[in-house]
Structure 1
Amino acid sequence: MKQPGSEKSAAAPELQPCGDAYLRARDLLRTRRAEALLGGTEKARKLHRSRGQMLPRERIEALLDPGSPFLEIGQLAGADMYEGVPPGATIITGVGKVCGRWCMLIVNDATVKGGTMFGMTTKRHTRAQLFAWQHRLPCITMVQSGGGFLPDLANIFPDEGQAGSIMYNQVKMSAEGIAQIALVHGPSTAGGAYIPALCDEVVIIRNQGAMFLGSPQLVFAATGEVVDIEPLGGAEMHSKVSGVTDHIADDDAHALSITRQIVEHLGEPPRLRWTRAEAERPCVDQTQLAGDRGGGDAGRADCREMLARLVDAGRFQEFKQLHGPTLVCGFARIEGFEVGIIAGNGELSAQAGAKGAHFIELCAQRDIPLVFLADSPGFAASDRHGQETVGKHGAKLLNATANADVPKFTVITGSVHGAAYYALGGRSFKPNALLMWPGARASASADAPDEEAGALNWARQLWCDMVVEPEDTRTILAQLLDMAGRVPARPTEFATFRM
């Protein structure tokens, strides 16, 4: 159906049903998600409840506003990396609304190895902090951790992105006025004690929460002295003597209520800097989106078929439609948010590189966020006829992608390889968030094995933030755009474009 001006509906033919490879990948990921949501063993969960404590995910639900989404980041981190540790790496991180304000929640799961930190735990924690920092989200940390898992100390202690970065990020965010709030739900040792001590406000639970650099057992081993938890680092001591904690609660529910009151008094919530139009449904049923990408490189569909099922009313104002057709660029709306879309549609040519750089420059000038739909076998070989300039123009696209200082979101919808992965918003080019569909693949070359290039491995390694099912993509992108739009705009400065 024609729309006013040059805007028109994207193509919307019937897509092939989902392939078996996609369905297998989807079902496997659903199984692993269920493991992550369950947390520790039944025995560990019963022990946790026997102490009068809410389970970690129950705490999250009680803290968030009724009906608020919880957009989990890194849910499958560490899957199959540590014995007896389900996907998630002993921690839960994600964004939800508290008193109408987006907040980052970082929650130790004491039902898994006592909330002990592994290398992937610190990686997931710091990734959550960097997301919060970029979007200026208050951080609410629910602490109940046995400290670092000593056999994995090389992946916890010395390097950037590990435990020290957690502390660094906390104080730097606090210095910028990004609130840092902690709830101490149970015994928290070593690094687990420093995390609340570095926060702006701390809530501790009477006869339950405790903080100490060395536990009573460690004190006895070192000195032979028997000391109880309470005088060493309990709620009464920290609230009356050390002053490390600011609020004392009777139980989990009381602590969560106090935390909501703290958030309520954080000042004026940030406002959206864009005008959001009324959302319109896509012109074609979103449940057909999965049929567009069955996994693997064979049978890559025209990306316009996907756009018809992804953008509001299927309306897509395409830019340079006849030039560089292996990269599709244009303006659209997703749940009412205006976006610039850059979608891989085959092997990227020199023309595609130049066109993509031009389009990104327009979006940066207009403060329009970018959505990359990554699906490309790579850049065309430079020794082909007419492709002598692919390196030069491909570099322009890399330059533009890296430097455009507008919110950027990447969805790997199919298979993306080589430098095309970077040009289409790969992790090292720092998009606000990187999502994958269950059947998606990404690797240096197209012949990488599925277990290495597939979405489960990317999620386990935290190379992507989340694996989302195609029909949920619009909703999740809208939530991400809402967060990003509450941060002040910044001017873009591009590096030198080689003309």
Structure 2
Amino acid sequence: MTVLKSTVDTAAAEHVANREAMLAKLAALDTDHAKALAGGGAKYVDRHHKRGKLLPRERIELLLDEDTAFLELSPLAAWGTDYTVGASVVAGIGVINGVECLITANDPTVRGGASNPWTLKKSVRAMDIAVANRLPVLSLVESGGADLPSQSEIFIPGGRMFRDLTRASAAGLPTITLVFGNSTAGGAYIPGMSDHVVMVKQQAKVFLGGPPLVKMATGEESDDEELGGADMHAAVSGLADHLAEDERDALRIGRDIVARLNWRKLGPGPTRAVVEPRYDAEDLLGIAPSDLRLPFDPREVIARLVDGSEFDEFKPRYGTSLVTGWASLHGYPVGILANARGVLFSAEAQKATQFIQLANSADVPLIFLQNTTGYMVGKEYEQAGIIKHGAMMINAVSNSTVPHLTVVLGASYGAGNYGMCGRAYDPRFLFTWPNAKSAVMGPAQLAGVLSIVARQAAAAKGAPYDDEADKNLRAMVEGQIEAQSLAPFLSGRLYDDGVIDPRDTRTVLGICLSAIHSAQVSGTRNFGVFRM
């Protein structure tokens, strides 16, 4: 393979400025992540610890193999809403007795671990990841059920959580639930629909209706233990397969269950030697301009991600605003599509289509590095068939069956988001750099379009146009679109799986590549009709 040559000058004023801007965004990101780590706040964390209980991330840490990574997913869920950042649940991928698993853990310090609408969205996304990548599922449960004030947004769609658990089991994915506290009402169906259930003695409480509800519904008097205690479920109902003495014992039993699954990956392991890139990942902080209107060479990013900085470029002289080529990352062969100058023309769309077909014929996963303002518009390009060619590329992305991984490095606007495998196109994982923005178009362009339409409407009616009102409208629209295009806003709404430090990109992609190979990796030959 060809070794990429880097021309990055880390001492250049532009690079230093970009680096400082990125570090500032990372500092803000750390503050947002700290909100998720804080859970319900010091008062509730202290109360939880005084009861002798572990926090969700402490439970996960003890569950995982020592010194292995935990890739937390959607940590900023609910950012910018009235709900706590993190959405009262921790989700991610970790290794347990050598097996990669999808793990979710309720955070009981946030309203007793109750599920709000964002908890539901995050949990559903986590299960989608488990099913798509064939990962065993472990649920660490301590939740009072639905957050009642928002039940209208949870009750009906929330049934999918239980449906997905049973479908995962039917698909051969082991489902394991460790119950550390309350698992009430609909939450009782999580252990009820899991393959393996562990309950902590004198802590776990699993019932469809608690004593007050039973009293109101039937007039029956009962207490927590006889109605849904761990001892009762272990000895009487049979819902508990294992009775743990304490939380650490429950985590030990959970690890033992995973060890006995006899779990095997169906996809190939790394087929090439893992060689560190020749260039420092630290350089990534200064490569992407703080002004997204300025282009940058994605080869400089690729050189700091792939093994040995080796990259065999495909059609390097054709459709040059899209870079395509072959590499390996942590020993896994990959194909890469990366935007070079933002705009996608007909040549780029046709080049991408052929490349995606080739990756499918070779059963090679694809990595999309997004920095695009969309497909080119204008009379010349419309007459040349940009719609057909853009549709061809989107067709290829839509019907490709090799796993897709997407990282948004900068801009992600318009249909370019679609062609470069945005969230709607079901990439196995999608991550965002802190500087990234995504919207239907740039704030100034969108505000300008609205202004032109309003002027035309006024002219059609023969009415005067208020320029001052137009100026205020444009400023308001630009501000709104800018705020709604920022990485934390989009991540808070689960349009990605997390905002990551650029320096961690290689590691994150490596974990994801390992996870996707738990399932078979195979391409398709059926792309439907390509319009020529």
The match for 2:88 is 90
Distance 2:232 2:268 in 1: 45
SS in 1 for 2:418: helix
Distance 1:93 1:258 in 2: 20
Cα shift readout 1:53-92 (whole Å, capped 9, x = no counterpart):
1111111000000011110111110123235x2x110001
Cα shift readout 1:369-422 (whole Å, capped 9, x = no counterpart):
100000011111141368621111111110111111111100000111000001
The match for 1:489 is 521
Q: Is 1:402 aligned with 2:401?
A: no
Gaps of at least 5 residues in structure 2 are 444-477
SS in 2 for 1:9: coil
Distance 1:217 1:149 in 2: 17
AA aligned opposite 1:114: G
CA contact (8 A) 1:297 1:414 kept: yes
AA aligned opposite 2:145: G
Q: Could you tell me how far 1:217 is from its partner in structure 2? A: 3.0
The match for 2:384 is 388
Among 309, 313, 317, the residue aligned to 1:318: 313
CA contact (8 A) 1:382 1:390 kept: no
SS in 1 for 2:16: coil
Among 248, 251, 264, the residue aligned to 2:246: 251
CA contact (8 A) 2:359 2:523 kept: no
AA aligned opposite 2:332: F
Q: Could you tell me how far 1:305 is from its partner in structure 2? A: 2.0
CA contact (8 A) 1:435 1:466 kept: yes
Q: Is 1:429 aligned with 2:411?
A: no
CA contact (8 A) 1:144 1:192 kept: no
Deviates more, 1:29-38 or 1:462-471: 29-38
Distance 2:5 2:499 in 1: 25
Distance 2:432 2:217 in 1: 49
CA contact (8 A) 2:80 2:489 kept: no
Distance 1:390 1:194, change over 3 A: same
Distance 1:313 1:333, change over 3 A: same
SS in 2 for 1:356: helix
Distance 2:434 2:292 in 1: 14
Among 480, 492, 495, the residue aligned to 2:512: 480
Distance 1:368 1:413 in 2: 22
Distance 1:279 1:30, change over 3 A: same
The match for 1:72 is 72
Matches within 5 A, 1:362-373: 362-373=358-369
CA contact (8 A) 1:401 1:425 kept: yes
Distance 1:213 1:343, change over 3 A: same
CA contact (8 A) 1:382 1:391 kept: no
Distance 1:188 1:81 in 2: 26
CA contact (8 A) 1:18 1:292 kept: no
Distance 1:181 1:306 in 2: 39
Among 272, 275, 284, the residue aligned to 1:280: 275
Distance 1:274 1:259, change over 3 A: closer
Which has the larger helix fraction? 2
Q: Could you tell me how far 1:101 is from its partner in structure 2? A: 0.2
Matches within 5 A, 1:209-248: 209-222=204-217, 225-248=220-243
The match for 1:152 is 150
Q: Could you tell me how far 1:226 is from its partner in structure 2? A: 4.3
Extract structure 1 runs of 4+ deviating beyond 6 A: none
Distance 1:469 1:189 in 2: 38
CA contact (8 A) 1:296 1:415 kept: no
CA contact (8 A) 1:74 1:459 kept: yes
Distance 2:271 2:482 in 1: 40
The match for 2:438 is 442
CA contact (8 A) 1:72 1:94 kept: yes
CA contact (8 A) 1:295 1:415 kept: no
Distance 1:295 1:349 in 2: 24
Distance 1:359 1:10, change over 3 A: farther
SS in 2 for 1:401: helix
Distance 2:305 2:231 in 1: 54
Q: Could you tell me how far 1:52 is from its partner in structure 2? A: 1.8
Distance 2:493 2:140 in 1: 23
The sequence identity of aligned pairs, in percent, is 38
The match for 1:457 is 489
SS in 2 for 1:466: coil
Deviates more, 1:21-30 or 1:72-81: 21-30
CA contact (8 A) 1:382 1:388 kept: no
Matches within 5 A, 1:184-195: 184-195=179-190
CA contact (8 A) 2:433 2:500 kept: yes
Q: Could you tell me how far 1:452 is from its partner in structure 2? A: 0.7
Distance 1:311 1:451 in 2: 33
CA contact (8 A) 1:280 1:313 kept: yes
CA contact (8 A) 2:271 2:333 kept: yes
SS in 1 for 2:318: coil
Distance 1:117 1:385 in 2: 49
Distance 1:224 1:171 in 2: 33
Distance 1:14 1:308 in 2: 14
Q: Could you tell me how far 1:18 is from its partner in structure 2? A: 4.5
The match for 1:17 is 16
Cα shift readout 1:456-476 (whole Å, capped 9, x = no counterpart):
011100000011111100011
The match for 1:45 is 45
Distance 2:248 2:361 in 1: 47
Distance 1:318 1:154, change over 3 A: same
Deviates more, 1:376-385 or 1:413-422: 376-385
AA aligned opposite 1:26: L
Distance 1:360 1:42, change over 3 A: same
CA contact (8 A) 1:12 1:308 kept: no
AA aligned opposite 1:435: F
Distance 1:70 1:186 in 2: 24
SS in 1 for 2:118: helix
TM-score computed with the length of structure 1 as normaliser: 0.94
CA contact (8 A) 1:296 1:414 kept: no
Cα shift readout 1:402-445 (whole Å, capped 9, x = no counterpart):
11111110000011100000110100100000000011111110
Deviates more, 1:372-381 or 1:307-316: 307-316
Distance 1:205 1:153 in 2: 28
